[in-house]
Structure 1
Amino acid sequence: MSARAWWLFLALGLIWGIPYLLIRVAVADLPPVCVAFARTLIGALLLLPIAAMRGELRPLLRYWKPLLAFTLVEISIPWWLLGYAETRINSSTAGLLIALVPVLTAGLMVLSGREVLNGRRSLGLAVGLGGVVALVGLDIDVSNGWAVGAALTTALGYALGPIVISRYLSGVPPLGVIAASLAVAAALYIPFAIPAWPPQVTMKAAGSVLVLGVVCTAIAFLLFFSLIAEAGPTRATVITYVNPVVALLLGVWLLHEPLTPGMLAGFALVLLGSFLATSRGASQHGAGPVPIGSDESR
């Protein structure tokens, strides 16, 4: 890759590794739906004008059904559930659970008949799921089962989103898709977020949400599309393996979350499983769709 591509890659590795930390801080004072609403609203306000100036919104009108489906599975439901999960489990644990996205994507591609289930892919799926078992079995109390389920559902949504893009929106400008999806998601959150909005918001929570919306959403997607243009979609997906490392380190360093044997074992197994399940050698049809909507994505 070029020097510019490497800088974009490193910047995104950091930017998309910190949402878990920021969400954990924000949901300490704000309901999860309010955090998700504010983040999508800020991102939409920043990206919609850019997409409009580039003429990337009008082509979306005829694709409103898949756009709505993408919004629900990639943004609306996952970002709300992820906030809920982080009210009960550590940000680093949530980041490691979301790191299962490539494994889930590979499994969905196999189930849909678009990928072949060979030995390497089967091993990757088994190893990745084993990582989740290790993480949950060694570290997470049974009482937090709903939070684990919410995080895993978020990962499933992040895995479904790129498949919707690949099947129904592949010919549509990606920045327009993201900008419109953020706007739709913000509108969908309004009936739930406005009644739940607290009378006062701490500076810490407000700052976390602002960084989530500006840096981790608007700027991150602009950088990601630049990385795809510079290095190609296949190399851009490698960012998936960097984000959980950043999430783990930031959670341990800044929030003083414990670094446990279960986290280390789960982290190693999930990343190894993701590599095996999504590497080119695992499939006769390539590496699968580019996760343009995830900040694992997210």
Structure 2
Amino acid sequence: MTARGWFLFSLMGVVWGIPYLMIKVAVDAVSPSTVVFTRCALGAALLLPFALRQGGLTRTARAHWRPLLAFACIEIIAPWWTLTDAERHLSSSTAGLLIAGVPIVGVALARFFGDTERLGVRRVTGLALGLAGVGVLTVPHLTGGDARSLAEVLVTVVGYATAPLIAARHLKDVPSLQLTALCLTLAALVYAPAAALTRPAAVPSAEVLAALAGLGVVCTAVAFVAFLELIREAGPTRATVITYVNPAVAVAAGALFLDEPLTAGILAAFALILAGSVLATAAAPGRRPRREPDAPDPDGGDRAEAARTPAP
């Protein structure tokens, strides 16, 4: 991978590792609906003009409105609210580590929806390790009134793992920029009434406003653009490896900026989930991986691969 590729990879590792920190800061002062609306509205405002310049946005929306609606609901509208609401009670590091289980759930869902590839001992071991890591992380919270928060994160994980299946089967012909802009716009419209009803009585602090701006501008709009460039530079398979880097950033950010505890349990859970994700998503033994093109087009056939890495 080139120096530019490594720069983009490092950038994405941070950009999609810090949303959990920003969500935690913002949701302590404003409602989850306001957080999601602000994030989606800012992202849509920045990306929609570029999507319009591509042309054919209205035609795309009309031709693919059913899968677009399903993708928006499962990838953004439901998961972003449940994740944000869960962080009212869970630490940002815990949320980030639980989201790391997305690749594991993705493997299980792919099997359920007809993936005929043999799992093998390696991938089964990975699933078991990942589930053990989730157990280590969640059991201490079950007695503290956080069962609902854990269930909300589970909804988020299932959504992030399911949405790529929709993109791969029904949205392969939709340019990634148009797909993202349309979904963010729809999500912003959905949450606008709730955000208006639950708006804070006073202007939030500068810290909260900065967190909201960071979520919308950096972690949504800029992140999607940078990720598309990373796919161009390194290919879709290497690009999705950031899924394994983001949780480490989430844990470190929570410990550094929010004084969240970095316990032995968290470290053990991180090791188990990371190892499980790597093993569960590895190619089956004896199966030759598909050769990556030198310069994949993020607006072409590789956009389904791009969708496999969730935006937190």
**Which of the five TM-score ranges fits, normalised by the shorter chain?**
over 0.9
Matched, 1:39 2:78: no
Report what 1:269 is aligned to. 272
Report the CA distance between 1:66 and its aligned residue.
0.3
Cα 1:102–1:282 change in 2 (3 A) is: farther
Secondary structure at the counterpart of residue 131 of structure 2: helix
Counterpart residue identity of residue 113, structure 2: S
Question: For the Cα contact (< 8 Å) 1:74–1:294, is it kept in 2?
Answer: no
Report what 2:248 is aligned to. 245
| Aligned residues with identical type, % of pairs | 46
Scaled by the length of structure 2, the TM-score of the pair is: 0.91
Report what 1:171 is aligned to. 173
Cα 1:137–1:184 change in 2 (3 A) is: same
Question: For the Cα contact (< 8 Å) 1:139–1:260, is it kept in 2?
Answer: no
Report what 1:149 is aligned to. 151
The gaps in structure 1 that reach 5 residues or longer are none
Counterpart residue identity of residue 243, structure 2: T
Question: For the Cα contact (< 8 Å) 1:60–1:172, is it kept in 2?
Answer: no
The alignment covers a number of residue pairs equal to 297
Question: For the Cα contact (< 8 Å) 1:8–1:223, is it kept in 2?
Answer: yes
Counterpart residue identity of residue 51, structure 1: A
1:137-169 deviations in whole A, cap 9, x for unaligned? 246644101001111211111111111100100
1:98-109 equivalences in 2 (<5 Å): 98-109=99-110
Report what 1:234 is aligned to. 237
Name the Cα RMSD after superposition: 1.8
The gaps in structure 2 that reach 5 residues or longer are 291-301
1:85-104 equivalences in 2 (<5 Å): 85-104=86-105
Matched, 1:79 2:94: no
Report the CA distance between 1:281 and its aligned residue.
3.0
Report what 1:14 is aligned to. 14
1:84-125 deviations in whole A, cap 9, x for unaligned? 110001000000011100101111011111243322221111
Cα 1:293–1:25 change in 2 (3 A) is: farther
Cα 1:97–1:204 change in 2 (3 A) is: same
Report what 1:197 is aligned to. 199
Counterpart residue identity of residue 205, structure 1: V
Q: Using the alignment, how far apart are the partners of 1:56 and 1:80 within structure 2?
A: 30
Q: Using the alignment, how far apart are the partners of 2:193 and 2:14 within structure 1?
A: 33
Question: For the Cα contact (< 8 Å) 2:23–2:87, is it kept in 1?
Answer: yes
Report what 2:163 is aligned to. 161
Counterpart residue identity of residue 239, structure 2: A
Moved more, 171-180 or 193-202: 193-202
Cα 1:213–1:56 change in 2 (3 A) is: farther
Report what 1:213 is aligned to. 216
Q: Using the alignment, how far apart are the partners of 2:74 and 2:258 within structure 1?
A: 29
Counterpart residue identity of residue 231, structure 2: I
1:27-63 deviations in whole A, cap 9, x for unaligned? 0100011100110000000000011112262333200
Counterpart residue identity of residue 104, structure 1: V
Matched, 1:5 2:5: yes
